[in-house]
Structure 1
Amino acid sequence: MTTVSTPVSQPLLDRLRAALGADSVLVDPDVTDGYRRDMMPLAPDGAPQAVVFPRNTEEVQEVVRTCAAHGVPIVPRGAGSGLSGAANATEGCVVLVTTRMNAILEIDADNRLAVVEPGVVNLDLRGAVEKHGLFYPPDPSSYDWCTIGGNLSTNAGGLCCVKYGVTSDSVLGLHVVLADGELLKTGRRTVKGVAGYDLTKLFVGSEGTLGVITQATLALRPLPQAPATTVAAFGTTADAGTAVTRIVREGIVPSLMEIMDAAAVEAVETYLKTELGAGRGAAALLICQSDSGGEAARRELAAIEQVCLDSGADLAYTTDDPAEGRLLLAARRAVLPALELYGAWLTDDVCVPRTRIAELIAGCARIGDEVGLRIVVCGHAGDGNMHPTIVYDRDSTDELARARRAFDDVLGLGLALGGTITGEHAVGKVKREWLVRELGPVGLRTHRAIKTALDPTNLFNPGSMFALE
């Protein structure tokens, strides 16, 4: 990408520097280009006027007031680990990066909550609360570098969603800077509370289009037991899908249930130089964990193992060795970097009813054959959230076009199977047209009305999620 200077408003720049300090306002295009986009290669981006790094809520308010006064849009950004283009800069905007707001302000073990700033890294929070015997469940695959603010903005999920839910299920309250620079405080610190509209859930998943989150009160859980793990290999994806359906139907709730197709297993084994025990010819690998501990975990996994065998698994194996469990989870998290052995990757994010997972995997194989590209499927079988990932040559214009076609075909397939276009990566700037199809005219009109009410001048992240016109 060629670095191009964007015209900068000197009065805007002067006011930002006065508020934040010169070291917190970057304008050198060789530096600011690194903040233009997230991890989604298809989403559009533009050159920002400036990239700013506020250190507290008051500085965020000053940035918002300054940009509003000068008519310059703001794109909030965390670590940039997103996969939808939601944090991509628009031409001439100010990118507001929250990574310097990285304090864990409070851990209240008695009330099982934490108060954090948006720049706290997910894994750092998990480690900090673990010292108090507590657990923060949301665990996106990028949890070792993604930030809580980004997780909140996209309502991120992760491998433990089947038992613990997505980010919104762990949020009690927020501090949000609105378009007029005022600070809105939503939610509560209590376990229950139904006073007024649920504004907290409105802002979680809003992709920075309604305001800038500067603080979050998060619900914690007791630290679970070290998990035991079951892995099962299947000769067909249909059999794996049957096992998932039966596990759910029988009321078994593992803490984790992941699926990998044959191509994903092959890539990971090559990348990690290890064997996952799937056996040759396995079409799908199912990984389940239980963190219930002791006899309860043994019962859960024994039941899962039996369901897998009854559903046609070629082998099923259970271990309570934490090291083996970590190895399998590391393999699952390594799918995307493993695919770089074959080329660039483009990952999709569709969620379908759990009874349709096998159909989705088969449909993705068909789409891959049609476009002539490798499509690898893995995902969260416990909640139907799949991540078909298309591998292509980034230097080939033709392959990029075919990858884009495959990406859209997968979204269409997900909707056709009764699903949604995104389970956890968000809409961003890459799925705007598809959101219109999913919401319908009344749903889209309602979204626009909310956006206009809270952000009448379209200050925050314009063009993300949907267009106002």
Structure 2
Amino acid sequence: MKLQALRDVLGTRLVTDGTSLVTHATDLSRAVFTGTPLGIVFAESTADVSAALAWANEHEVPVSVRGAGTGLTGGAVAYDRGLIISLERMTRIVEIDAANRLAIVEAGVINADLTTACTEHGLFFPPDPASSRISTIGGNVATNAGGLRCVAHGVTSDWIAGLTVVLADGRIMRTGARTRKNVVGYDLTSLFVGSEGTLGIVTEAIVRLKPLPEGAPVTFWADFDTVSAAGDAVVSIVNSTAAPEVLELMDAFSVEIIESFNPTGIRVPQGALLVGQTAGAEALAAATQIGELARAAGAVGAGIAETDALIEARRLSNPALNARGLKISCDVGVPVSSLAEMFRGVEALAAAHGIRVSSVAHAGDGNLHCTVESPDTPAGIAAADALIDDITRLALKLDGTITGEHGIGSVKQHEVAWQLDEVTRDVQFAVKHALDPKNILTPGRGI
């Protein structure tokens, strides 16, 4: 197989040796890569991606797609004798159209950088994953990320107006429109959001923006003796008129780990700590109402925080857990009304397995991130995986989902059939085959 034809087009943007092959072969998941990639394409334009995919399709070379490498399910892990396409250099904010509350951005733009750029126009991009300071818009689109503000603003798909996508054979397609209404043909934009790089590579997005709320956000907290009581409080808050902008939960084990990773003086609760923010002209009144609802649900303490340190602590959960060696996790979702029952079930399963579990949740939308403490040995990993499987089955029993925003990748492949019936899977495979008949794009993952 000759790489020279691709090198003739891409020049030094094609790298075939050096440390980049190692650092770009994995993501932040527990998935392990074995083998040697053919090379990495550091794409700087949609045309670069098109040339790379046309070459890979011709030679039937498997392709992995990488943004910032922050994925947690092994979706960006390289293939042996495969081609890595990195979008990290595609960082242009092409346009901010303030009048229409739109921005056009390349896939490598960091989520938080987009909002920073929009702030001077009085606008922001609502999707806000905990990793917003390091994750890319392309990665957010690939997994349909939600994040901290999901309870108020929904997930990434709610804020995507159109995409530029490179198909498996190198053809370039544009979906959607800059208009609010558009019902021409199939909704291909939604098809590619959340497709995890299995149908095409998103190189550019038209994203919707929202006006910044009035005033400064108000951060609130509530302390509970049990995680179950915190879950009850969440149901009460979400069904009230308080409308939090952020509503997050950290169990005692998680708070202990986060505080040891980055000491801020946060008191480790007996059961769980509920934190969040309200925004807008009535932010203080809403935060006060939430405190009252929390106390009525069993909080032993609640109040208004002077800083946003509690929210920052929540954003540090993944780095803190990784630093402690906790990598085996899931991000199940359940209806908010089942949240308390889910927390009780996780506690019972952890006790039955005799393994500690850290539960951090985007509580306002029912998305739980459960991470298992286990030794880094084959037996320890197997035991942790067995507990994660039981937690996932519990979520499904409660009419939930096996993943809320991290995606399937490679580590959740065995769980897909638990949620999707045979007909649904057949349809998904038919779509995959129609768009990628040679199965070069992220093969064996996502569906």
Structures share a fold, TM > 0.5?
A: yes
Which position in structure 2 is the counterpart of 1:220? 209
| Structure 1 position 448, deviation (Å) | 0.6
Residue 448 of structure 1 pairs with residue 437 of structure 2: no
For the residues of structure 2 that align with 1:76 and 1:430, how far apart are their CA atoms? 16
Counterpart in 1 of 2:401?
A: 420
Task: Name structure 2 gaps, 5 residues minimum.
Answer: none
1:462 is paired with a residue whose SS is coil
Q: Please give the per-residue CA displacement for 1:5-27, whole angstroms capped at 9, x wherever unaligned.
A: xxxx3x1x101211111x21122
Distance, in Å, in 1 between the alignment partners of 2:105 and 2:19 is 32
1:44: how far off? 5.9
Structure 1 counterpart SS, 2:411: coil
8 A contact 2:234–2:364 mirrored in 1: yes
- Indicate whether 1:346 and 2:320 are aligned: no
Aligned partner of 1:184 in structure 2 is 173
> CA contact under 8 A between 2:326 and 2:371: conserved in structure 1?
no
Partner of 2:287: 301
- Pick one of 76, 80, 86 that aligns with 1:91: 80
Give per-residue Cα distances to partners, 1:282-327, cap 9 Å, x unaligned.
311111211123xx112212221111111111111024x4xx1x20
SS at match of 1:175: strand
Matched ranges for 1:13-412 at <5 A: 13-21=3-11, 23-28=12-17, 30-42=19-31, 46-225=35-214, 226-277=216-267, 282-293=270-281, 296-319=282-305, 321=306, 324=307, 326-340=308-322, 342-394=324-376, 396-412=377-393
Contact 1:136 1:221 in 2 (8 A): yes
In structure 2, how many angstroms separate the alpha carbons of the residues matched to 1:238 and 1:369?
15
Alpha-carbon separation, structure 2, partners of 1:192 and 1:401: 49
The 2-side partners of 1:121 and 1:64 are apart by 24
The offset of 1:360, in angstroms, is: 2.1
Q: Which moved more, 1:38-47 or 1:447-456?
A: 38-47
Q: How many residues align?
A: 446
Give the AA of the match of 2:224.
Answer: F
SS class of match (1:192): coil
Amino acid at match of 1:236: T
Deviations 1:323-345 (A, max 9, x none): x1x20111111222223564343
Deviations 1:395-417 (A, max 9, x none): x2221221221222221121122
RMSD: 1.6
Residue type matched to 2:237 in 1? I
Q: 1:46 deviation in Å?
A: 4.7
| C-alpha distance after superposition, 1:371-393 (max 9, x if no partner) | 33321001111000010111223
Q: TM-score, normalised by structure 2?
A: 0.96
CA distance in 2 between counterparts of 1:379 and 1:304 reads 17
In structure 1, what is the equivalent of residue 414 of structure 2? 433
Counterpart position of 1:6 = none
* CA deviation profile, 1:232-274 (whole Å, cap 9, x unmatched): 1112222212111111222432100001111112222222223
Query: Residues 119 and 386 from structure 1, CA distance in 2 versus in 1: closer, same or farther, beyond 3 angstroms?
Result: same
8 A Cα contact 2:25 2:33, kept in partner: no
TM-score relative to the length of structure 1: 0.91
Give the partner amino acid of 1:230.
Answer: F
Q: Is 1:43–1:84's contact at 8 Å kept on the other side of the alignment?
A: no
| CA offset digits 1:132-154 (Å, max 9, x no partner) | 11101111111111111111111
